[in-house]
Structures are given as structure tokens and as C-alpha cells.
Amino acid sequence: MLDPNAIRQRILGALPGSEVDVRDTTGTGDHFEARVVSPAFGGKSMVEQHQLVYAPLQDWLKSGELHALALKTYSPEQWKKLGNR
């Protein structure tokens, strides 16, 4: 059973300087939702952004420990355009 903070720390380790929020969507510790705002996403497609987030989580995904991760990814510019700070 994974903890949302463990996922958050892995993402932050791969994408330093990012804003990362992770939530357990079912309470079972294997289905999560993450919002990631990262300068590393500038100029990248959504697929490329998601690949950057999934990369540090591959072992958990392959083992099934992390069964599902819904992603919302934004560059800081995209995030600001949506009215956020």
C-alpha cells in the first residue's frame, strides 16, 4: 500500500522545483491522482509531460503496487493562464 507522499517525493526527485499534489482516490493505496506544475514541462506535449512524471514510478507501476495514476500536468505558464498562482 503506497502513501501519497512517497509518490510525491519520487516525482519531486525527478522534477525538482515542481509543485506536486497527490491524492489517494479510492483509499486502497493503489489508485491516485496527481497534479504536477513543473518548469520542465515548458514546450513539451502532454504525452511528454506524462512520460516525465511516470519515469520515476516505473518500478511501482510494473509491480502493480501503483495500479492507476491519473495525471494533470501543467507548465507554470499554463497553470497561470488557468487563473492559478
pLDDT tens readout for residues 23-69: 999 999 999 999 999 999 999 999 999 999 999 999 999 999 999 99
32 near 7, Cβ under 8 Å? yes
What does the pLDDT read at residue 26? 94
Cα–Cα distance for residue pair 55/66, rounded to 1 Å: 13
Cα–Cα distance for residue pair 73/8, rounded to 1 Å: 13
In the chain, alpha helices (H): 4-14, 46-54, 58-63, 76-81
pLDDT band at 83 (very low <50, low <70, confident <90, very high): confident
Neighbours of 2 (CB within 10 A): 20
